[in-house]
Structure 1
Amino acid sequence: MAAYKATGPAVPEWLNKGDNAWQMISATFVGLQSVPGLVILYGSIVKKKWAVNSAFMALYAFAAVVLCWVSWAYKMSFGDELLPFWGRAGPALGQKFLLKEAALPNSTHYYQNGTLEAPMMAPLYPMATMVWFQCVFAAITLILLAGSVLGRMSFKAWMLFVPLWLTFSYTIGAFSLWGGGFLFHWGVMDYSGGYVIHLLRGLLVSPLLTG
Structure 2
Amino acid sequence: MALYAYASSLLVWVVVGFRMAFGEQLLPFWGKAGVALTQSYLVERASLPATEHDGIPRTQPFYPEATLVLFQFEFAAITLVLLAGSVLGRMNIKAWMAFTPLWLLLSYTVGAFSLWGGGFLYRWGVIDYSGGYVIHLSSGIAGFTAAYWVRHPPPVSFSPPFLIWIA
* Category of TM-score, reference length = shorter chain: 0.7 to 0.9
Question: Map of 1:145-184 to 2, 5 A cutoff?
Answer: 145-184=83-122
Runs of 4+ in 1 over 6 A off after TM superposition: none
In the alignment, which of 53, 58, 67 is matched to residue 129 of structure 1? 67
Identity of aligned residues (%): 60
Normalising by structure 2, report the TM-score: 0.85
Matched to 2:35, the amino acid is P
Separation (CA, whole Å) in 1 of partners of 2:93 and 2:50: 38
1:101 shift after superposition: 0.6
In the alignment, which of 158, 176, 187 is matched to residue 125 of structure 2? 187
Gap runs ≥5 in structure 1: 1-56, 111-115
1:91 shift after superposition: 0.2
Normalising by structure 1, report the TM-score: 0.68
- Matched with 2:40 is 96
In the alignment, which of 59, 72, 87 is matched to residue 3 of structure 2? 59
Separation (CA, whole Å) in 1 of partners of 2:8 and 2:144: 24
Gap runs ≥5 in structure 2: 150-167
- Matched with 2:81 is 143
Matched to 2:26, the amino acid is L
In the alignment, which of 126, 142, 155 is matched to residue 204 of structure 1? 142
CA root-mean-square deviation: 1.3
1:106 shift after superposition: 5.9
Q: Which structure is richer in relative contact order (CA contacts within 8 A, separation 6 or more)?
A: 2
Matched to 1:182, the amino acid is F
What is the DSSP-based 3-state SS (H/G/I as helix, E as strand, rest coil) of the residue aligned with 2:47?
A: coil
1:202 shift after superposition: 1.4
Greater gyration radius: 2
